[in-house]
Structure 1
Amino acid sequence: MGTALVYHEDMTAARLLWEDPECEIECPQRLTAALEGLQQRGLEQRCLRLVAREASEAELGLVHSPEYVALLRGTQALGTQELQALSGQYDAVYFHPRTFHCARLAVGAALQLVDAVMTGAVRNGLALVRPPGHHSQRAAANGFCVFNSVAIAARHAKQKHGLHRVLIVDWDVHHGQGTQYIFEDDPSVLYFSWHRYEHRRFWPYLRESDADAVGQGQGLGFTVNLPWNQVGMGNADYMAAFLHVLLPLAFEFDPELVLVSAGFDSAIGDPEGQMQATPECFAHLTQLLQVLADGRVCAVLEGGYHLESLSQSVCMMVQALLGDPAPPLSGPMVPHGSALESIQSVRAAQAPYWMSLQQQGAAPVLSPSTCSPEGKPSPLLPWGPEFKAAATQTMAALSSLLDKLCLNPTPPVRTAVALTAPDAALVLPPGVLCQERSALPEEMQAWARPHKALAQDKALTALGKVLYLLDRLLDGQVSSGIAATPAPATAATLDVAIRCGLSHGAQRLLCVAVGQLDRPPDLTDDGRNLWLNIGGKEAAAPSTFHVCVPLPGTTGGFLNCVLALVLPLAYSFQPDLVLVALGPAHGLRDPQAALLTALLRGPAGGRVLALIDEESTPQLVGVLARVLHGEAPPSLGPFSMASPEDMQALMRLRGPLEPQWKMLQVAGEAGVGVVRLRVSA
């Protein structure tokens, strides 16, 4: 199973035939630039290439009215003046004699991708298409969009493949109101959109784009809108939105398929979005989605109007779909105050419908940012002098960033496993190396000398393999690894691994220890290491670099611990190496250990070393190897609420840590515990 890339060169045929500054940015070069980027990076060659087909009119009818389809069919015979007149009847739309053909190919590409994923021909994929689709409605084109490819794909997946739960993630910078309208009363489709809103001052200027638009009828709670009320949102804001809004709901919803309306006008440099998220951020977002739905992720291109930023962002997403580690995120991981207000508002609006948010203390707090102003101020147009003056500095920053951005191929070995005695029952994925080499004897002895537990031959042999694997991780020869240690020597081996990592090049090392593993006594709070213990003893003198949390006993408790504590700490700390230590009797089920390990690939650019007890089952070793290699973790099973004790312990921890670790925050400073009146426009 691999990654599909669906494309057809005919989708570059439609183009603007008259002067229209608003529509000229939706051009054929958007596709060619993205495809050339994939080819230059060697990514297209690693994908299964599928040639897009035209969707049938019956398939278009899954969402669109027969009259609207007939109207679009008729555009093939119209002249330029007639096309311009018809285009003027819609908002930000242009038609071309080839529009009908191109739009049918865009829908057909999305349907082919869904079929390939649902039949197991591929694990995931990208449909590289135009025109985009998420603004188009049942009987109307809108915002460059003709047919709603993602909405049709969702209906197709339900009808043809019998799915009951489909998640649509729309990270385009514009609100996909067309998709929202189509599914707003449908509880089988969870629709999440973040979008530039600016107190209803940004296109499409809709009241129903705000956080309190949560669906209708049976679909209440299944529309999730996160409005950005300022420009300049960056990596920290996007990651916070996923960790504190989307992922809690998604795990509770438990989708069978994830569809992504992948608009890259939300990336740095884009004239429409004016946001600051760098291309590698989209690799991280993609990785987070891949832990859902057994990894069945189908992305469909929407917007994106800065060609270089679009191309780099598409490449990053495809690398993540292929299972490659995502480069570490650049910039400080501190969400903007305005972003926290938006996150706070959407959590409050959604809390009545989702257990996961009710337990996290999502108080009924609604920010004044949700108030809609009277009238619609003129937007900052991408062709106007105001924008050009403001964009000069952003473009210079983008050029500098892209020069530094690492799009290197995967390390020679993506994942290596070092065991003291390989089990015949162990089945490793193709491409995972079973390592037999050890560190030099004198190096082993030097590191082992302070620890009596490492004096035995078996423990010393295991330590040698750990040290050799750690060196390969730090010199870039191996991306991630798993090493087994004898149970009595686990704590000592972990201590050596931490000290060795810090002395051999790691600038910041995160250790996530599960079970009764004490923090090495000589570790100092110098900012270079962060110790996080799940299920261990409470720290005698807790600090911002020494965090202990009880092991939750339910699925909901475990997810809250990971999403609301472990990952925000990890992304705030920005480590360049992560150690995951599963001590004897650690208490995690295999799917929980796999999910924790998979999610920790992100913060350190994939550099994860998992230390496990040598008595662990071959099944655990195999599943950890698969997730470190880029595959999806197994399902956690049915969602169950966290215990009040687990939630109290988690909330008690978070408060003192928030001043240091900003990614833990879920509300603006003035909004905590305050109930505000909502004012309607």
Structure 2
Amino acid sequence: MGTALVYHEDMTVARLLWDDPECEMECPESADCSPVVGQWVSGQGPEGERRSCLACPPLHSPEYVAMVRGTQSLGKVELQALSGKYDTVYFLTSLSICARMFPGATLQLVDAVLTGTAHNGLALVRPPGHHSQRTAANGFCVFNNVAIAAEYAKQKHGLHRILIVDWDVHHGQGTQYIFEDDPSVLYFSWHRYEHGRFWPYLRESDADEVGRGHGRGFTVNLPWNQVGMGNADYVAAFLHVLLPLAFEFDPELVLISAGFDSVIGDPEGQMRVTPECFAHLTQLLLVLARGRVCAVLEGGYHLELLAESVCMTVQALLGDPAPPLLGAMVPCGSALESIQRVRAAQAPHWTSLQHQDMAPVLSSSIGSPEARPQPPPPAGAEYMVAAAAEAVEALRALLDQLRLRPLPPVRTAIALTSTDAALVLPPGVLHQEGSAPREETEAWARPHEALVQDEALTALGKVLNLMDGILGGQVSSGIAATPALATAATLDVAIRRGLYLGAQRLLCVAVGQAATPPPTSLMTMFHISVPLPGATGGLLNCVLGLVLPLAYGFQPDVVLVALGPAPGLHDSHSALLASMLRGPAGGRVLALVQESKPQLTGALARALHGEAPPSLGPCSAASPEDTQALKHLREQLEPKWRMLQVAGAPPP
């Protein structure tokens, strides 16, 4: 199995036949944005058309489908007149063929992932779909491809819980309308809103629109009320809004409406997200649904940065570590206000958001719901020049980072003092036989009595060699076993070795009985002792609400994960933690386990190698004691670490 890529060159042939400034930015070249690699699942046009129009679930009305099919016989004047009946749409003869092919191509991707032919995949297709409604085209969208895919997955494959993540900069109101009363589909959208002054100018795009009937709580809108949102804002929204709900929902499939118009320099989105951020968002979604993730291209209007963003997404789907996020990870006040509002709106419907301190900020963020808001003035020449310069700088920084820190030749290595026949590893994981020189190992061990024994010294030599490989660029991540009594001392030496080798910031996450802080006061090291909650919900609250925000805020060069024995610590918990910590350090993770445990080592190796961790299943609620302990820790750390915050500053 690999990563499926669905694409057909016919989707790039449509061209606008008349002058229309609104529609000119939607160009078919965006479907031909990069020579990405993977396992190709490419359908022919006729098959895609047959599957979309005849075999798809009846999502769009028969009259609307017939109207779209009839555009093949219309002339230019008739096509322009028909397009004028809809909001920001253009119909062409060739475009209608593509629009019918696109849903069929998306269904091929869903089939490939759900039948096990591929782990995950991306559909590079045009036109987009998330604005399309049951009986109307809208916003360049003719058929709602992701919505059709969700309905198809339910009817053809018998799925009961599907998560749709719409990270396009525009609200996918078409998808929301289709599933607003359906509890089997959790729809999440963040979008440029500006208090209702940005297209599509809808009151129902606001945070307090949570669905209808049985679907209440299954529509999650996160409106951005100013432009310029960046990486920290988007990652914070995932950690504090989407992922808590997603884990509680426990989806069987994740569909991404993958619009890239929030990338820095995009003239439509006017946001400041860098391309590598999409790799991080993708990695965070791959821990759900056993990694069954299907991304489908939506918007994106800066073609060069669109291509880089797509490449970053595919890199994450392939299991490669994401490049570290550059720049300060500090969410802005407006983003925190939006996060606070959506958490308050969703708290009545989700256990994971209850019993947490949240001000009831439920007033509408739109100024006057009675009147249609006026659109913001078009960006002036001065803004466009500045945005273009920022885009060039972001692209240069990304390319420099990829050049100076290329992917290591070994993605994952394990260093064990003994092997076990029960240990099952994925292909490509390296059994490291080497060790640091004996005299050098003894010198590093000298301050610690626990490292005097031969067994501890041998294990330490392997740990030092593995740390050298990670920081030297030969290995991305690794796993090493240590004797139980030598864990704290080994951790201390590993930290000092990492800093000695040039790591500027080293994050240590200790879990279970390994949670004794190592004897060091170095300011370049940040140590988190993770309390072990008694329920899965408590563990997730700790990881999403404490560990990952601190990790992204600290931006470490390498992460050390020390896993000690504990009654409530399952292999799936450890694998999830290791998998999610790959992001903040660009994949540089060294996991220390006490003694060799083949099942745990195998689970960690698969997670660090880029495979999806095992599903946690339905989440039990966090206990009041765990919730209170987490609240206390967050209150202590929030003033310094802004990624922990989930609310804007109170009014003066």
TM range (shorter): over 0.9
1:2 matched residue in structure 2:
2
Q: Which amino acid aligns with 1:9?
A: E
1:650 aligns with one of 630, 647, 650 = 630
1:414 matched residue in structure 2:
411
Native 8 Å contact 1:578 1:609 kept in 2: yes
1:395 matched residue in structure 2:
388
Q: Which amino acid aligns with 1:595?
A: L
* Residue pairs, 1:356-367, within 5 angstroms: 356-366=352-362
2:39 matched residue in structure 1:
47
Cα deviations by residue, 1:191-216 (Å, 9 ceiling, x for unpaired): 00000000000000000000011000
Native 8 Å contact 1:269 1:395 kept in 2: yes
Show structure 2 runs of 5+ residues with no match: none
Q: State the distance in 1 between where 2:40 and 2:408 align.
A: 21
Native 8 Å contact 2:441 2:461 kept in 1: yes
* Residue pairs, 1:14-93, within 5 angstroms: 14-32=14-32, 34=33, 37=34, 39=35, 43-44=36-37, 46-51=38-43, 53-54=48-49, 55-60=51-56, 62-93=58-89
Cα drift, residue 366 of structure 1: 2.8
- 3-state SS of paired residue (2:21): coil
* Residue pairs, 1:234-273, within 5 angstroms: 234-273=230-269
* Residue pairs, 1:179-198, within 5 angstroms: 179-198=175-194
Q: Structure 1 residues 368, 213: CA separation in 2 closer, same or farther (over 3 Å shift)? A: closer
Cα drift, residue 400 of structure 1: 1.6
1:135 matched residue in structure 2:
131
Cα deviations by residue, 1:418-439 (Å, 9 ceiling, x for unpaired): 1010111111100000111001
1:160 aligns with one of 126, 150, 156 = 156
1:613 aligns with 2:606: no
1:588 aligns with 2:565: no
1:479 aligns with 2:459: no
Q: Which amino acid aligns with 2:395?
A: L
Native 8 Å contact 2:87 2:139 kept in 1: yes
Cα drift, residue 361 of structure 1: 2.8
Q: State the distance in 1 between where 2:627 and 2:539 align.
A: 10
Cα drift, residue 49 of structure 1: 4.1
1:225 matched residue in structure 2:
221
Cα drift, residue 551 of structure 1: 1.4
Cα drift, residue 57 of structure 1: 1.6
2:510 matched residue in structure 1:
513
Q: State the distance in 1 between where 2:626 and 2:590 align.
A: 28
1:633 matched residue in structure 2:
613
Q: State the distance in 1 between where 2:54 and 2:42 align.
A: 22
Cα drift, residue 22 of structure 1: 0.5
Q: Which amino acid aligns with 2:14?
A: A
Cα drift, residue 387 of structure 1: 3.2
Structure 1 segments of 4 or more deviating over 6 A?
A: none
- 3-state SS of paired residue (2:238): helix
Native 8 Å contact 1:207 1:372 kept in 2: no
1:212 aligns with 2:208: yes
- 3-state SS of paired residue (2:22): coil
2:13 matched residue in structure 1:
13
Cα drift, residue 137 of structure 1: 0.3
Q: State the distance in 2 between where 1:615 and 1:195 align.
A: 47
Cα drift, residue 372 of structure 1: 4.2
- 3-state SS of paired residue (2:271): coil
Show structure 1 runs of 5+ residues with no match: 535-549, 675-681
Cα deviations by residue, 1:284-331 (Å, 9 ceiling, x for unpaired): 000000000000000000000000110000000000000000000111
1:300 matched residue in structure 2:
296
Pick which of 204-213 and 50-59 moved more: 50-59
* Residue pairs, 1:357-506, within 5 angstroms: 357-366=353-362, 369-372=365-368, 374-381=371-378, 386-405=379-398, 406-407=401-402, 410-506=407-503
Cα deviations by residue, 1:90-125 (Å, 9 ceiling, x for unpaired): 000001111221011211111000000000000000
1:110 matched residue in structure 2:
106
- 3-state SS of paired residue (1:329): coil
Native 8 Å contact 2:41 2:109 kept in 1: no
1:598 matched residue in structure 2:
579
Native 8 Å contact 1:344 1:366 kept in 2: no
- 3-state SS of paired residue (2:163): strand
Number of equivalenced pairs: 642
Cα deviations by residue, 1:32-70 (Å, 9 ceiling, x for unpaired): 2x1xx3x2xxx42x3334235323323455210000001
Native 8 Å contact 1:199 1:372 kept in 2: no
- 3-state SS of paired residue (1:273): coil
Cα deviations by residue, 1:444-475 (Å, 9 ceiling, x for unpaired): 01101111111111111111110001000001
2:520 matched residue in structure 1:
522
Native 8 Å contact 2:435 2:464 kept in 1: yes
Q: Structure 1 residues 658, 370: CA separation in 2 closer, same or farther (over 3 Å shift)? A: farther
Q: Structure 1 residues 652, 370: CA separation in 2 closer, same or farther (over 3 Å shift)? A: farther
Q: State the distance in 2 between where 1:453 and 1:278 align.
A: 46
TM-score normalised over the length of structure 2: 0.96
Native 8 Å contact 2:132 2:175 kept in 1: yes
- 3-state SS of paired residue (2:517): coil
Pick which of 637-646 and 211-220 moved more: 637-646
Q: Which amino acid aligns with 2:7?
A: Y
Native 8 Å contact 2:52 2:103 kept in 1: no
- 3-state SS of paired residue (2:93): coil
TM-score normalised over the length of structure 1: 0.92
2:547 matched residue in structure 1:
566
2:532 matched residue in structure 1:
551
Native 8 Å contact 1:128 1:300 kept in 2: yes
Cα drift, residue 367 of structure 1: 5.7
1:545 matched residue in structure 2:
none
* Residue pairs, 1:259-338, within 5 angstroms: 259-338=255-334
Q: State the distance in 2 between where 1:380 and 1:624 align.
A: 52
Q: Which amino acid aligns with 2:580?
A: L
- 3-state SS of paired residue (1:636): coil
Cα drift, residue 638 of structure 1: 2.0
1:348 matched residue in structure 2:
344
Q: State the distance in 2 between where 1:50 and 1:2 align.
A: 14
Cα drift, residue 15 of structure 1: 1.6
Native 8 Å contact 1:283 1:317 kept in 2: yes
1:199 aligns with 2:192: no
Q: State the distance in 1 between where 2:380 and 2:473 align.
A: 42
- 3-state SS of paired residue (1:51): coil
Q: State the distance in 2 between where 1:418 and 1:615 align.
A: 10
- 3-state SS of paired residue (1:68): helix
Q: State the distance in 2 between where 1:506 and 1:513 align.
A: 19
Native 8 Å contact 2:414 2:480 kept in 1: yes
1:531 aligns with one of 527, 530, 541 = 527
Pick which of 587-596 and 236-245 moved more: 587-596
- 3-state SS of paired residue (1:663): helix
Native 8 Å contact 2:264 2:391 kept in 1: yes
Q: Which amino acid aligns with 1:597?
A: A
Q: Structure 1 residues 305, 500: CA separation in 2 closer, same or farther (over 3 Å shift)? A: same
Q: State the distance in 2 between where 1:615 and 1:30 align.
A: 49
